[in-house]
Amino acid sequence: MGRVLVWLIAAIITLSPQPALSEPKHAIAMQGEPALPADYAHFNYVNPDAPKGGSITYCVVGSFDNLNPFILKSLRTTARGMIDRIFGNLVFEPLMQRNDDESFSLYGLLADTADMDPERKSIEFHLDPRAKWSDGQPVTAEDVLFTYEVFTEKGRPPYSARMSMVAKLEKTGDRSVRFTFNDKANRETPLVIAMTPIVPKHAFDKATFDRTTLKPVIGSGPYTVAHVAPGQRIVFKRNPNYWGKDIPAKRGFDNYDQITIEYFLNANAKLEAFKKGICAIADDSDPVKRERDLDFPAFHKGDVIAEKFDTGIPPVVTGFLFNTRLQKFSNPVVRRALGMFYDFEWANKNLFGGKYMRTMSYWQNSELSALGHPADDREKALLAPYPGRVPADVMDGTWRPPVTDGSGQDRRVLKAAFDIFKGAGYALHDGVMLDPEGKPFGFEILTASQNEERLAAIYQRTLAKIGIDVTIRSLDGDQIQSRKQRFNFEVLIGASGFENSLSPGIEQFGRWGSAAANAEGSFNLAGVADPAIDAALEAMVDARSREDYVAAVRVLDRLLISGHYMVPMQHNTQEWLAYWSYLEHPRKTPISGYRLPTWWRKPK
């Protein structure tokens, strides 16, 4: 028995009733108060009277051989839908549910109320007495305790690390548990605990929990696994006895009797399946390509609808991400010069019909962005221990990447980048860029689609003008994921996209924190290990006021921009979907964008 398990068991106290921490609340918020009152009927972006019935087929690229999303082996090949931001948490559920029309507020789900200490040193959850697993057994406090025990011993990041912030986990009643936090925790920790999916103790064997499985698993969610064709298809059927169908946080959700997720080898095969009516929905970020792809009879007849959805969140950041664990990318000056070779103006004009905007910040189009916001006294104080880490133009908010003439060969920008290389000890010899040790400088870009290959080729062509040899290697999605998990790459494109929100929090530690830089399976793909960034992350999650929070995120943004860990490309502020006309969706789109679990099929 390991030291962690001994500590954990010692921390669990059975049935130790204590006074309530505060008045139980139906919802909790990261900052301020939740927007909806205790007697709210439903979230405001759903149709509470959406008709139930029918089926839908979603399509994805990839494969799967596992139904347990909580283990390290799941990072590459877990079936979609078990816990899923896009298609919904069909099988497993957390204690509390996020309202997608608020920055960061959680409402009761498996737990109908929560008592959170004002200082956020502890939180007690009271389980809804109606909550049941799909086999009819009740959700109990023992299930919560088991979840954290097995995640700590056998789970994957980030689940495996959450108990490290807990000083004591105790059962305070048949349907209540209390988490008391230690000094490693921060003000976001209670919300992270509330969002953690819970698994049934009676349905899992702790000894074998970390093994992949294709046996249908038991959860508390609205659907059960009905059929599995490994690597090809998974079918979910609505549980007619789903316990939460009438609670406010689930009203208007989960409207299909059956959900099928079909897997395809590549994006082209998936597109053809959509045109044939196999797939209900298609998405594409390329405005030129999607217009071309919609040139088929069903669209012209009106059987397929194309629609744009406005969002209020920062755009996804995609681009060429450097593996800074490698010596060739360890110098931020070199990374800065490499960033100047992506010709956005040429790409936008020739590939995207001028419909894109340049991505320059990790929280662009929000108050959290460093762009256009000079650093205030709070930010300067956070950066004071790290002098010189942020250039003057990034500090005053005026920094912008170089703008080319759109010709694909703007000599002015090329010369400026080349001068940076020269200043770092690089030299051009017989048309080949040599590093300070006299070795040819070049790298490999991994791509997972034709669109990514096309963007990589633009970058490759420009870098070749100053003697940098770039190779492009195309891999399928599973191979890319495996490489990411082991940090076995030089440069990634596309697969390195980062979704951001108006309430960045603990997930940013996994992307940029030093502790995650060399943790297998972490999302710190760039290998960032910077004490200044760590300090900004800590300030962000410990902020007591909105002003302190905004300052901390802006400092993080300034440090990421200054570190040149990736070459951001472009974005469109609207989400786009094409879907077959038998589908309908609510009139209101939440700030986080469209939510497929709220859609329904038109009654016949």
Q: What is the pLDDT of residue 574?
A: 83
CA 351 vs CA 356, 381, 439, 594: distances in Å: 10, 43, 34, 26
Per-residue pLDDT tens for 42-94?
999 999 999 999 999 999 998 899 999 999 875 557 899 999 989 999 999 99
Cα separation, 537 vs 188, whole angstroms? 12
Listed range (7-11, 184-188, 222-226, 281-285) with the worst mean pLDDT: 7-11
Cα separation, 359 vs 569, whole angstroms? 6
Other beta carbons within 10 angstroms of residue 51's beta carbon come to: 12
CA atoms within a 13 Å half-sphere pointing along the CA-CB vector of 301? 7
Mean pLDDT score, 407-431: 94
pTM: 0.80
Mean pLDDT score, 172-181: 96
Q: What is the pLDDT of residue 284?
A: 83
Q: Which residue has the higher pLDDT, 247 or 496?
A: 247
pLDDT at 15 over 90: no
Closest CA relative to residue 455, chosen from 495, 396, 399:
495
Q: What is the pLDDT of residue 450?
A: 82
- Domain boundaries 334-571, CATH class: alpha beta
pLDDT at 482 over 60: yes
Cα separation, 284 vs 600, whole angstroms? 21
Q: Coil, strand, or helix at residue 279?
A: coil
Q: Coil, strand, or helix at residue 250?
A: helix
Name the pLDDT band for 11 (thresholds 50, 70, 90). Answer: very low
Per-residue pLDDT tens for 240-256?
999 999 999 999 999 99
Q: What is the pLDDT of residue 408?
A: 84
Cα separation, 119 vs 246, whole angstroms? 33
Mean of the per-residue pLDDT values of the chain: 92
Cα separation, 443 vs 471, whole angstroms? 6
Q: What is the pLDDT of residue 18?
A: 45
Name the pLDDT band for 420 (thresholds 50, 70, 90). Answer: very high
Other beta carbons within 10 angstroms of residue 100's beta carbon come to: 19
Report how far Cα 394 is from the mean position of its chain's Cα atoms. Answer: 26
Name the pLDDT band for 4 (thresholds 50, 70, 90). Answer: very low
In percent, the amount of the chain with pLDDT more than 70 equals: 95
Per-residue pLDDT tens for 422-471?
999 999 999 999 999 999 999 999 998 888 899 999 999 999 999 999 99
pLDDT at 490 over 90: yes
Say which residues have a Cβ less than 8 Å from residue 345's Cβ, sequence separation at least 6: 403, 404, 405, 406
Q: What is the pLDDT of residue 481?
A: 81
Q: What is the pLDDT of residue 147?
A: 97
Q: Which residue has the higher pLDDT, 556 or 14?
A: 556
Q: What are phi and psi of 65, to 5 degrees?
A: -145, 30
Q: What is the pLDDT of residue 494?
A: 65
Element (H, E) at 227: strand 223-229
pLDDT at 6 over 70: no
Please report which residue ranges of 226-351 form alpha helices under DSSP H.
Answer: 267-275, 287-293, 297-300, 332-339, 344-350
Q: What is the pLDDT of residue 540?
A: 95
Cα separation, 336 vs 561, whole angstroms? 9
Per-residue pLDDT tens for 309-350?
988 889 889 999 999 999 999 999 999 999 999 999 999 999
Q: Is the peptide bond before 158 cis (omega within 30 degrees of 0)?
A: yes
Cα separation, 533 vs 190, whole angstroms? 23
Closest CA relative to residue 276, chosen from 311, 304, 248:
304
Q: What is the pLDDT of residue 1?
A: 41
Give helix 141-154 / helix 3-11 axis angle, nearest 10°.
160
pLDDT at 19 over 80: no
